[in-house]
Amino acid sequence: MHRYVLATTVMVGFLILCTETIVEGTGAKVSEPLSVGTTSEKPGPSERKGSSQVVHTLNLSDYAGNSVDEWLQSKGLKFEADAANRDMLNLSVSDGALTLEAREALRGILRQNPLHLKRYSKVRIEWGVLKYPKGASYEKDVRNESIMVLVFFGEEKISSGHFISPDLPYFIGFYLCQDDQLNVPYKGKYYQEGGRYVCVGSPQPGETVVSEFDLVQAFHTYFDKSDLPPISGIALEVDTTSSGDGGTAAAFVKRVEILE
């Protein structure tokens, strides 16, 4: 059984990209087509035996002991902002999954880049939540999550909309939620041109689900672009800066796969 120790982080650098969302017209969510969706279900014995070829995997289920930080760094992950502080964001391995435990209010990111994946169709994530951040909801302007998987597209830097935030490539952030609408692309206060945030499932605490999401259709629909740039990076992010209960939260992830 997954266990968690509550932990926290504070944001630095480009982590500001996940701070605020607005609905178009009111301040909360984007009025865009909802046909781009995901499937989230409990993993079965043949969960990854489909016809789609896996072109890239961030496997977080093969820990063999010793330092967790060194194991993650060997996979090309870099710790940014509060992700480098183990007193705030505890990283451990249990039941073949990386557990991210926010002990207080924080923002932190583990980023894997550069990548250059030209051929892809979907992202598939095997993950779950142990403790949702109290009160977190993009609908209610508490823009926090116990875990988010960010996928970046291309090398072109799109304006953040504010001088304090660095320009970034296009990105879509996928998260698990309790109170937000599923498969709705939320916008942030910044990165409105180049960023979207999508809740792809609402599992019960401790439940493992597999979420599969069509990246190609989403990119074309969300950003109104005809071309399809390569995937240039993947990141795991935790943000509990505005949550109740001291910003404590916990989640786990086993793998992130990009499918051809």
Distance between CA atoms of residues 125 and 58, nearest Å? 10
Q: Which domain holds residue 27?
A: 13-43+51-259
Q: Tell me the mean pLDDT in the region 225-245.
A: 96
pLDDT (average), residues 126-154: 95
Residue with tokens 């926290």: 8
Residue 41: the pLDDT is 66
Q: Is residue 6 situated within a structural domain?
A: no
Is there a domain that residue 3 lies in?
no
Q: How far apart are the first and last CA of the chain?
A: 33
Instruction: Mean pLDDT check: name the lowest of 9-18, 148-157, 219-228.
Output: 9-18
d(CA 61, CA 177): 23
Q: Is 245 left (phi over 0), alpha (psi -120 to 50) or beta?
A: left
Mean pLDDT calculated for residue range 37-43 = 61
**Contact criterion met (CB below 8 Å) for 176 and 143:** no
Give me the number of domains the chain comprises: 1
pLDDT in tens, 151-204: 999 999 998 778 877 889 999 999 999 999 999 999 877 788 899 999 999 999
What is the average per-residue pLDDT within 245-251? Answer: 97
Inform me whether the pLDDT recorded for 56 exceeds 50: yes
pLDDT at 37: 54
Is 0.75 topped by the overall pTM? Answer: yes
Q: Is residue 2 part of a domain?
A: no
Q: Is residue 93 part of a domain?
A: yes
What average pLDDT does the structure give for the chain? 85
On whether residue 79 sits in a domain, the answer given is yes
Answer yes or no: are the C-beta atoms of 145 and 133 closer than 8 Å.
Answer: yes
Residue 63 placed within a domain: yes
Structure tokens at 106: 């924080």
pLDDT reading at 224 higher than 90:
yes
**CATH for 141:** 2.60.120.260
137 pLDDT tier (thresholds 50, 70, 90):
very high
Assess if residue 23 is contained within a domain: yes
Residue 244 confidence (pLDDT) above 60: yes
In this model, does residue 258 exceed pLDDT 70?
yes
SS (H, E, C) the chain: CCCCCCCCCCCCHHHHHHCCEECCCCCCCCCCCCCCCEEEECCCCCCCCCCCCEEEEEECCCCCCCCHHHHHHCCCEEEEEHHHCCCCEEEEEECCEEEEEECCCCEEEEEECCCCECCCCEEEEEEEEEECCECCECCCCECCEEEEEEEEEEEEEECCCCCCCCCEEEEEEEEECCCCCECCEEEECCCCCCEEEEEEECCCCCCCEEEEEEHHHHHHHHHCCCCCCCEEEEEEEEECCCCEHHHCEEEEEEEEEEEC
Structural domain contains residue 210: yes
